[in-house]
Chain A
Amino acid sequence: MAKTLEQEKLTVNENQSDILLEVNGLKKFFPVKAGILQRTVGHVKAVDDVSFYVKKGETFGLVGESGCGKSTTGRTIIRLYEPTDGKVLFEGKDISNLNEKQLKPYRRDIQMVFQDPYSSLNPRKTVGTILEEPYRVHKLYSKAERKERVEHLLEKVGLNPDLRNRYPHEFSGGQRQRIGIARALTLNPKLIIGDEPVSALDVSIQSQVLNIMDDLQKDFGLTYLFIAHDLGVVKHISDRIGVMYLGKMMEIAPKRRLYSNPFHPYTQALLSAVPKSHPSEVKKERIILKGDVPSPSNPPKGCVFHTRCPKVMDHCKQEIPALKELEPGHFVACHLYE
């Protein structure tokens, strides 16, 4: 019998010092308001009982298609959304129910890089002001020191420090994303949550940013929770990867295991759907899923994937499969493996 994540957690607890972030049974439901009346008629189960952990210094990739809840998970962890249920343990401390004031010290430790390089920087402020803001909020450093730090950070992300006084609109997308990364770094965080940080960028720019993130991780000893839909990108940057579907965690595995030997039918389909990187490989047989992702406001009963699963069984439609550890570090939520 495979261990569930709960059990895994116990084993993890033994060397707790390795764990930076632990998410346990996290739920985030959004009320569905109907029409102009704004009455709650149901809930979008954006994140429904998701558990995973991120070890210090590693990059944990969270992949899934749109609407799978990966971004919501990230935002709930950083408390942009109030979790509906579940725990978020940061360095062993549950931060999921702290109020804004209690949370403030943790704000320095967890930072986020956003997807859209155009909307993630306040268009009315200069880059310098944007980057100094975290210091002002936390009342850190003198004016001169702040300036110096900002210049240093700009250099770190490959930008000319002289551009401090420029406005975001004067920069290209890639440059803005670097500024976004610099802002995340201002407070010397331990964990950076990247919410699709490169998906809005041109391919040639995307690789620059990925490389910078790589470098910074080494330089600053950062831990990344990297959220993306591009399996290639996730594979490149992550150490371990979690696959989400309709608010549920389907599979968690170290990167190589996941890509070479995916257990979950969804993961298999997902990997197979990725366009091949060379025309010669195109001929290979691929798994084509039927239909679209169901609406998270009305997810299927049982295994949420059963409506599209090529290997669906009767009890998939009734029972929700638990996330179990099939091999060390490789968790799957699928009735096939019971």
Chain B
Amino acid sequence: MSTLLEIKNLKTHFFSKDKVLPVVDGVDFKVKKGETLAIVGESGSGKSITSLSIMGLVPKPGGKIVEGEILFDGKDLVQLSENQMYKVRGNDIAMIFQEPMSSLNPVLTIGEQITEVLIYHKKLSKKEARQKAIELLKIVGFARAEGILDDYPHRLSGGMRQRVMIAMAMSCDPKLLIADEPTTALDVTVQAQILELMKDLSKKFESSIILITHDLGVVAELADRVIVMYAGQVVEESPVVSLFDEPLHPYTQGLLSSIPKLDEERKRLTSIAGNVPSPDSFPKGCRFNTRCPHVMQVCIDKQPDLIEVKPGRKSRCFLHEEGVNSNG
């Protein structure tokens, strides 16, 4: 499979009067055509800002891509002018957001919001756009799609809105879909519907998907490959199955073992000590060193690199460099 998107050493920092927050600090990864890549991390890990960096929508004022390349289909998105980015966004790369309740414009009808993308990017006539919108709505599971078109978002439930968001995102057949916590705000039963829908769509549209989530369950459901982010950096990269089978990085290990699971019973949860560091106080050395059960002097002194431990599997940890088996 060929690479659709390659991110090299992406650094997106936030500047305020007295400090610089390295929210995304040297992220590398690739997305291949047709694959679903999950980016997992807790709050403050920089996963959302990474996705917004790809979209060229880093919050302003304050946020800025200070370094790195985002190669999409061979073009470096970082270098594109704002005018050129307009053609990429919504067309080649689409995005859906976490909050379906607030991500739709409350004063425009569903129809207006879907068709405007089609009219803008695909230069369809109003009528064609409307037809296409109906098709899309049917695809995302609305039986009476025509009726929905003239409704306002507030009349729809969260699940329905997220479907609308998906329909909107898919309307221009994007090559890449970025889904930022698409199911987090939804109830379990609705989440299941949406996950099911996304699985179908990824097959149908052959789009690549970047799935951003903190929920490893969602990762297990959808992803082909996984990137684990911590404190603005990628700490582990792996195909999904091997990640669950054998997590390499101590953070991933902690994460996996701290989740209470339905299908197993433990008297006591394993947990990662301490707190997720905030970007203004990332520790020196390995950023996980404050919470790592295997912390060594070297971890405090310098930063480990993201190295390929096994084929297709990378980890950012001195344990691997020194050949220590993480399962020990």
Contacts and interface: CB of A to CB of B under 8 A. Distances in A.
> Does chain A touch chain B in the assembled complex, meaning CB atoms less than 8 Å apart?
yes
Interface of A: 65-66, 172, 174-175, 202-208, 210-211, 214, 229-233, 235-237, 259, 269-282, 286, 288-289, 291-293
A229 B275 CA distance: 23
Give 5 closest A-B pairs by Cβ, nearest first.
Answer: A275-B217, A236-B260, A207-B271, A273-B192, A207-B258
Contacts of B151: none
B262 A292 contact: no
A293 B190 CA distance: 9
A230 B218 CA distance: 13
A275 B218 contact: yes
A207 B42 CA distance: 13
A260 B291 CA distance: 35
A272 B263 CA distance: 11
B193 A289 contact: yes
A203 B271 CA distance: 9
Nearest to B183: A275
A274 B160 contact: no
A66 B214 contact: no
B262 A204 contact: no
B127 interface: no
Given A65-B188, A211-B268, A288-B196, 7 more contacts: A174-B275, A211-B269, A230-B260, A273-B192, A281-B220, A291-B159, A292-B160
Nearest to A275: B217
A163 B50 CA distance: 35
Contacts of B262: 231-232, 235, 259, 271, 274, 277
Interface of B: 42-43, 157-160, 187-193, 195-196, 214-218, 220-221, 223, 240-241, 244, 254-255, 258-266, 268-273, 275-276, 291
Contacts of B221: 275-276, 279, 282
A65 B43 CA distance: 23
B12 to A, nearest CB: 21
Given A203-B214, A270-B189, A286-B192, A208 B271 contact: yes
Given A202-B42, A236-B260, A279-B240, A273 B188 contact: yes
Given A206-B258, A236-B260, A278-B220, A292 B158 contact: yes
24 contacts: A65-B187, A172-B276, A203-B255, A206-B258, A211-B268, A214-B268, A229-B188, A230-B260, A231-B262, A232-B261, A269-B189, A270-B188, A275-B217, A275-B218, A275-B220, A276-B217, A277-B216, A277-B259, A277-B261, A281-B263, A292-B157, A292-B159, A292-B160, A293-B189
Q: Which of A204, A210, A236, A269 has the most CB of B within 10 A?
A: A204
Contacts of B192: 272-275, 286, 288-289
A207 B270 contact: yes
A205 B187 contact: no
Nearest to B257: A207
B244 A204 contact: no
Contacts of A214: 268
Contact of B187 (A202, A229, A276, A281): A229
B198 to A, nearest CB: 12
Given A203-B42, A204-B255, A235 B260 contact: yes
Given A205-B275, A280-B241, A275 B258 contact: no
